Amino acid sequence: MKNQITKILSIAGFDGSCGAGTHADIKTFSALQCYGASILTSLTIQNTQGVSDVFLFPIQVVEEQFHSIFSDIDIDAVKTGMLYNKDIVMLTTNMLKKYKPKHIVIDPVIYPTSGKKLQQEDAIEVIKQSLLPIATIVTPNIEEAEKLTGISIKNKTDMINAAEILSTYGPEAVLVKGGHFKGEHSNDFLYIKDKQIEKWLSAKRIKTKNNHGTGCSLASAIAAYLGKGHNIENAVEHAKKFITGAIDAAKDHEIGHGHGPVQHFWQYFNY
């Protein structure tokens, strides 16, 4: 018997500073002992201080990447990140329907920590109507959940309402992340409608400016644990612990002049 390694695919944008996007995803997969592959949807010009520009690949180039990866590698789970416009969203949806990976984690990247918006308005409705119905889980932060649901989110009750609204589009689970709120703890809400699971996941808030790529990395960790065979609830719990450790390990780092990256390999190295 050959040793089988879990294989996870990132479908996202390129970040040359390696804090977010496919680079953060691959680092997460590797830290969790999975093999990472990627499909680039766009090239962003960004660093720790923000996103200054976005360049799109021709849609044919993105499509050919799908065929190349899925024709060769047996993917155990997929994580999507930056899908800039409706054409990329529809292509991604159609390709995932064609190749049918077992788990699909949707991180609806709209707003970076700072800088240029990472998604056009025309993509948002297509994500709701086309991509969410095939998702295992969708992981919006507060601003993204507001954009997707059209409601204002000011407290825990609003987070619950947003999760319930998003669940009507068809994903198996919704994780509304509360990291953008203030307070001693960072609280995320997990909603799995069919299993009647409503669960708060809490971690002590870490005072740091180094939070670049936290959303990408959390969603990637969920995909990695799903690919390893964990159920949704356990995958989210393990991923929450992973990202909390990664943020804590990087809190005193000095990488760049803005929002530095998290330390994905915190379990293995002491920097």
Mean pLDDT lowest among 96-105, 107-116, 204-213, 245-254: 107-116
CB under 8 A, 24+ apart: contacts of 261-264: 261/17, 261/18, 261/19, 261/20, 261/24, 261/48, 261/210, 261/212, 261/213, 262/19, 262/24, 262/210, 262/211, 262/212, 262/213, 262/214, 262/217, 264/24, 264/27, 264/28, 264/30, 264/31, 264/217
pTM of the model: 0.95
Q: Indicate the range of 60-74, 93-107, 198-212 predicted with least confidence.
A: 198-212
Phi, psi of 128 (to 5 degrees): -65, -45
pLDDT band at 89 (very low <50, low <70, confident <90, very high): very high
- 174-188, pLDDT tens digit by residue? 999 997 777 788 899
The residue-averaged pLDDT of 244-253 equals: 93
**pLDDT(271) > 70:** no
Mean pLDDT of 20-49: 96
**pLDDT reported for residue 4:** 87
Q: How far apart are CA 23 and CA 20, in angstroms?
A: 6
User: Rg of the chain's alpha carbons, rounded to an integer?
Assistant: 17
**Cα gap 51→44, rounded to integer Å:** 7
The domains found in the chain, sorted by start residue, are 7-249 (3.40.1190.20)
